[in-house]
Each structure stands twice: as C-alpha cells, then as structure tokens.
Chain A
Amino acid sequence: MNISETQTPFDINDYIRLEQMPHFLCPGCGHGIALRALLWAIHELKIDKDKLAVVSGIGCSGRLSAYIDANTFHTTHGRPLAYATGMALARPDLHVIVITGDGDSLAIGGNHLIHACRRNLNMTCMMLNNEIYGMTGGQVSPTTSSNRYTTTTPEGNTEPVFDACALATAAGASFVGREVTMQVTGLKNLLRDGIEHHGFSFVEVISDCTEIYGRKNDLGMSPEMLLSQKATMRPDAYRNTVDVPFRPNALECGVLAKADRPEYGCATREKNARVQAKAEGK
C-alpha cells in the first residue's frame, strides 16, 4: 500500500511519553530502533492511541511499553500474551500489541506463545530477540548462539538455538515474519503488515545487546553488531537464491508464513451471539 502521500510525516514525539525520557536502554541497544519502527507502523496505520493497548512482559523488552503514549501494561515475566488474550477478548475494540523478548516468550512464556499462535486471536506479538537475558545481567537464553559466552555459560553455550519463527509457524500463527533492526524501513513495513493482518501475527526482531552480550563476546559496539546483522540476514527478495553471497544458514527475513485462518475472537463472538440470541428468545 502507498500511504506516504496522504499522511502527515511520522514524528516519534507524537507517540512517546516524553516525560519518561531519558529512557533506560543502554547505548547502542537495538530495542529503541524496534520501538521506533513499531510506532512508525502505528502512525502509518492511523491507529488511535486511545484505542491502542500495548502489553509487555519482563526484561529489557518489557520496559518499552512505559515509553509509548497509549494504554500500556507492563505485566509479569512470560505472561503478556495471556494478559493480552484476556484484554483482546474483553475489548475487541482495542488494537492489542504485545512486546516480548526471547527469554520472555520462548523460555518462561513458551507455552503461552504456542497457544496464542494456535488460537489465532487478533493481536500482534513483537518479539525482540537479542539472544540474552540483559536485564538480569546476561544469562543464556533459548536463542543464544552456539558457543557464545554468557554469565551462565562461562565456557560457551552448548544448548541448541530455538528458531522462533519456525516455532510460531508450526504452532499455527497465521502471520509470521522476521526482520533485523538494521533494516528500519523493512521492519516498519513488516510490523505494519503484521498489525493489519486479521489474526495472530508474530514478528521476530533481531536486536542487539551491545553492553552485555556484545562486550562479553567481543562483538564490537553498535555499528559492528549492526553490520554483522547484514552479514547474517537474507532479505526477502533473495529468499530463493543460493547461499552465496550470504553466509550459509543466514536468517531469512520478511514474511515467512501467512495463512488465512478463522480469527478466534470473531469466531467466539459469532458463536456466543447465537447462544445469547437463543437464550433471550426463550
């Protein structure tokens, strides 16, 4: 869709709580980029801030909700999808967006993620994957790459890595996509498409933890980490090309899965309306 012509330019100041600045993110953290992309997508979709509900969990990702000028809910560790499910069912008039992290949604909240994907309730889940528990000081997460050092893998990580998008797709999410923070416009577009999608949309954002993960593993500062994203990503346009010039096993980006499945909220409301009509008709 082409919206740029009819829209006022995006100004992030319209969407953040300026009184909460300065924010608490570390210098170079990718989460701020993701936040900006999300707000930009919301701007393009002309979503009324009063009707926007942002639900987050615990961790660095969880703190983002406090900076958004909307109805924001900073919930418990791993559970934002459960809270969001209740809210979306009770208030179908709200646009519900969940912000979560790799530990929040794949470890402690893994069960909620797969069932949210299966249920296909209309909401968007933005998962910020920085491969680490940053808030608690840098412990290994389900997405920490092989052999990386963390405070709980002092000799390097030996656990296999979760592919969040493959998991979400297998669990039935009707919109699954991935993007890196280096590609801000691509990320904004992906989030916009995800929010527009009628059903459960899952967007994984490859974000960088510079201060803890980057330093511990000698990955450089923000510019170096962003550049390495470029080396490991595979833009949508090149999805079907051979691995060269990309690194083998490079991350596929863009929309990875899309399916037209019944949306849970609508299906429930239709069924309930029939029950109610029958009950009142008696």
Chain B
Amino acid sequence: MANLINLQGNQACAMGAIAAGCRFYAGYPITPSSEIAETMARELPKVGGVFIQMEDEIASMGAVVGASMGGAKAMTATSGPGFSLKQENLGYACASEIPCVIINVMRGGPSTGMPTRPAQGDIMQARWGTHGDHPIIVLTPASVAECYTETIRAFELTERLRVPVIVLVDEVIGHLVETVDLEALAPKETIERRFATGPADGFEPYAVTDDMVPPFPRPGDGYRSHTTGLTHLPSGFPTQNPEKASAALLRTTDKLDLHADLIEACEIIECDNADIIIATIGISARAAQQAVTDLRAKGIKAGLFRPKTLWPFPEKRLKEVAKNAKIILVPEMNQGQLILEIERLMARHMPVIGLNKINGEAITPAEITAKVSEVLA
C-alpha cells in the first residue's frame, strides 16, 4: 500500500539526508533554502544527530567539514550569496578529501538578486566556485522525489569517494510540493565511509590505493594523522616538490575518472530517433519533458537529455545519445552556462542553440516548443 504524502523539495532534501545517515548539520538562514535547516533542526535530534545554526555561512561550512573530519556524515544548505561564502571551506574539503554535502537552492543573482525567485545561474559556480583545479561532484534533482533520492546519492558518493558533493536545486524544485512515497524511495542500506583499520605504524592517510580513495583515519582510532589544505604528500604533510605535488593533485581528480560509472547519471527520454535534443536540468527539464510530449504529438522528433549528475558532465552519454541528432537546444534560466559545456562537446557536429530566461520565472513548455518550431523553420 503506497504511503503517499505531499512533501516539499527542500524538506525532501533534509529527509533524504537523514535517511542516508547524515547526523550533523550546520547552517545559516537564507532564502530559499531555509526549510532544509528548519527540517534538520526538528528531525536530526530525533535520530541522535546534531543541528547547529552558526554565526555565518563560512562558519557553517567550516563546522560541517570539522564534523566530517571527526567521522560524522555532515551537510549544509544555502543559496547563491551563501554559496559564494562557502567556497573557501568547500575548497579545503576538496583538497583534503573530506566528505560533505552542500545543497545550493539557486535563486536569482548576482548578489542579493531576487531571493524568492528561481534561477539556474550557479551551474558554473558549482563547478568552479572555489579556487584552483579541484574535484567536485554536482547533482541536479528535477522533482521532489529526486530531492530525496539525489541527496541520498550525494551522501553515498561523498562517503564512498571522499569528494564533496553539491546538490544543485533551483528555487522552483526546492519549494515545489509533490506527492511522493518516501517508503518506496528509502534506501535499502546506507553507504558508509571506509575508515582506516590495521596498524597505525607507517599508516599513510593519503596513500595511493587501487581505488584511489584512501581509507579515512578517524580521530580516536590511533592514527593521529595530519590534515591540511596545503598540497600534501601521502603522509598528509605539506610538500612543494613539483613531482610529488603534481601526483598528489592528479590523484584527487583522476579518482573521478576511475569512478565515472558510479558517479554518472542521466535521464534520457525519446532520444533514439530524435532530430532535436533538448538538454537541460531541474525545472527547465520538467518543461522540456512536457515539450517533448507536445512536440512528438505534432510529429516533431524531439528528445530530452537530462544530466542528473551535472559535474563531471556525462559527456560520453551525450555524445552517444546525440550522434544522430540534427540540433541541440539548451534551455536554462541564466545567460548561457550549461550551453558552454554542450558546445564544447557537440558544436563541431551540430548547431547548439540556447534558450535563456533570467526574469525570475521558470521556462515554460510552450516557450520550448515555440523555440523548437522557430529553430526548425
């Protein structure tokens, strides 16, 4: 018997986190993500977890990384202005391979922008927000159910791979309430971080292992290791030796290539014989899904390519799916960010055309069908 409830996207993110085993949350109030903090404040203590509202966005990211360094599954949530502030300590987590989940509910920007209005303007910031080359995983739910399941997947990936995972939600999906069956979506088991075991003597916290994910030395387990944001050796201590620095940095990014199959996820609808492929994320993908149905009804062969894992971008999948297409359309609520990646991959094979909207309203199915008709004419 289905146990259907009406749940909000932001709340679903919080419930997903708890289902995945998240037991620490630090945050700072910001529209339109505050319901995540509010839900965590209410629900975390019930399962033995800790919620804290910190003095600012920077501190909340620091506290999350600190809790995770202590061994806890930890998360924070924010929106544009706060996401900018979190980049510093997010970079630390990338450099020192500390698992953590950051939910960014995108609102209109830049700066204070339009706090209650949706946008998809942080696609590039999510990838390149912190300084320096760094590994990062970005997931993009497009429904309330996916807010739940993708937050769970975010924890699975971050704990398994020791790479920070960003869940990039737009305001529409974050505030959308949909009918879901959480019991049906709940994980059968949770993925746990691999903690270091065995002798402490000679233990190297960043040793090169087969899977390139070094076991995590939990404080109290006897390893007494050192963690730093300085570029470090397998021993954990800093180095400026050119060869060793290069090898250490490459391992953290090569790790993502090695585990590409685990990380990659996309939704592909009606792309097999499609002449035009619509590639997009979040609420824009929901509009595109409707548009595909409407266009097919009119005899236009359209398909949808939706990266659920936005970064690393599922480039092989897009190339496969689009190999017989004639045009790619990229609707997005910004001035053209996702399109840059798709142009990089596909522009030499076919025209890649953008549909952009930055007025604080979602792209509609009608706008997509109109654009397709215009492009095909």
* A residues whose Cβ falls under 8 Å from a Cβ of B: 17, 20, 49-51, 53, 55, 65-66, 69-76, 79, 81-87, 89-91, 93-94, 111-112, 114-115, 268, 271-272, 275-276, 279-280
Contacts and interface: CB of A to CB of B under 8 A. Distances in A.
Given A115-B54, A115-B59, A87 B66 contact: yes
Interface in B162-192: none
B92 A75 contact: yes
B29 to A, nearest CB: 15
Contact of B229 (A74, A89, A111, A276): A74
A64 to B, nearest CB: 12
A43 to B, nearest CB: 16
A94 B70 contact: yes
Contacts of A72: 224-227
Taking chain B's interface residues, is the majority helix, strand, or loop, or is none over half, making it mixed? mixed
Interface of B: 23-24, 26, 45-50, 52, 54-56, 58-72, 74, 88-89, 92, 219-230, 237-238
Given A20-B237, A276-B45, A86 B62 contact: yes
B47 A86 contact: no
A74 B226 contact: yes
Considering the complex of A and B, which 9 residue pairs feature the smallest CB-CB distances, nearest first? Answer: A82-B62, A86-B66, A86-B63, A83-B66, A279-B46, A86-B67, A90-B67, A71-B219, A115-B55
A271 B46 CA distance: 10
A84 B238 CA distance: 21
Given A93-B220, A94-B220, A111 B66 contact: no
Contact of B52 (A20, A50, A85, A112): A85
Given A20-B237, A112-B59, A76 B88 contact: yes
B93 to A, nearest CB: 10
A114 B55 CA distance: 9
A268 B224 contact: no
B24 A49 contact: no
Contacts of A112: 55, 59, 62
13 contacts: A51-B220, A70-B224, A79-B88, A82-B62, A85-B62, A86-B26, A86-B63, A86-B65, A86-B69, A91-B70, A114-B55, A276-B46, A276-B48
A82 B54 contact: yes
B69 A87 contact: yes
A93 B71 CA distance: 12
A206 B54 CA distance: 29
Contacts of A271: 45
A112 B48 CA distance: 26
Contact of A91 (B48, B71, B224, B228): B71
A82 B48 contact: no
